[in-house]
Homo-oligomer: A and B are copies of this chain.
Amino acid sequence: MGLDTDLDKIPKHLLKTDDPVFEFNKQIIDATHEYCVSYKPNIAFYEALGPKGWESLQKTLDYLPTDCFTIADAKRGDIGNTSALYAKAFFERMNFDSITVAPYMGEDSVKPFLEFSGKWVILLVHTSNSGSRDFQLLESNDGHFLFQHVIFASQQWATPDQMMYVVGATHAEKIGAIRALAPEHFFLVPGVGAQGGDLGAVSKAGLNSQCGLLVNSSRAIIYASSKEDFAEVARREAMKTQKEMEVYLQHL
């Protein structure tokens, strides 16, 4: 579940609390964790609030049940010595299990994130947004798309036990071909819910024998109600998604 917590969208009665962002997250986590394997705060929502936003983020992370896999959706990436600092921030200081990383700057921008034992890099491959067509679908002179080259190259950098790939649910028609290139990797699949991706199509094309999918929904669950019943309604939406996923998982 994406914790994309936005002061303009959370129920108004929470704004009176000391830390509305954490209060919202806490109630959402309490209501939904039974149906979620993982929580994914998108870091932009916290960074936009300045130092206080980073405190709300840390409190949220500390509050999450320890059996939840945590994803810093940060899309970082810089030259080697600088990526190492981002890795330290998210893996050591904040203790996230994983971070999303942008591949444009290549191997030395990704490798520092791989040097932390038990942590994961989730590399952007084919994202869910409309702009994913601009460069990710550039066809190279050997007939492959850029996003396929990202898979080929990154498989030389890390095992499927250290790296996952971001593959948007809005590209359900390509997920089968991506699965063929990376049979063992987990895919983080955003774009179900508000962005229009279809969970059934994604599951049919993307499941492997270990499941292999972390399907994310953010806005469709956490903002399902903007009233005082928001947590209860989020719980129902999370359950609905989990029950649907359960049916697809029975085919494993």
> Which residues of A are in contact with B by a Cβ distance under 8 Å?
4, 6, 42, 44-45, 47-48, 50-52, 54-55, 58, 73, 75-80, 82-83, 85-86, 88-89, 93, 102-110, 124, 127-136, 138-141, 143, 146, 149-150, 153, 195
Contacts and interface: CB of A to CB of B under 8 A. Distances in A.
A127 to B, nearest CB: 5
Contact of A140 (B52, B109, B127, B141): B141
A51 to B, nearest CB: 4
Given A54-B54, A140-B140, A108 B131 contact: yes
A45 B83 CA distance: 10
A50 to B, nearest CB: 6
Contacts of A132: 105-106
Contacts of A88: 48
Contact of A103 (B104, B106, B133): B104
B131 A85 contact: no
Contact of A102 (B45, B75, B86): B75
A108 B42 CA distance: 17
7 contacts: A48-B88, A79-B127, A102-B104, A103-B135, A106-B131, A106-B135, A141-B143
A190 to B, nearest CB: 8
Contacts of A140: 138-141
A150 B135 contact: yes
A113 to B, nearest CB: 12
Given A80-B131, A104-B135, 17 more contacts: A44-B76, A44-B89, A45-B85, A48-B86, A48-B89, A50-B54, A50-B58, A50-B93, A75-B102, A79-B128, A102-B102, A102-B105, A103-B104, A106-B129, A135-B146, A138-B138, A146-B146
Given A77-B102, A107-B130, A51 B51 contact: yes
A9 to B, nearest CB: 11
A133 B45 CA distance: 32
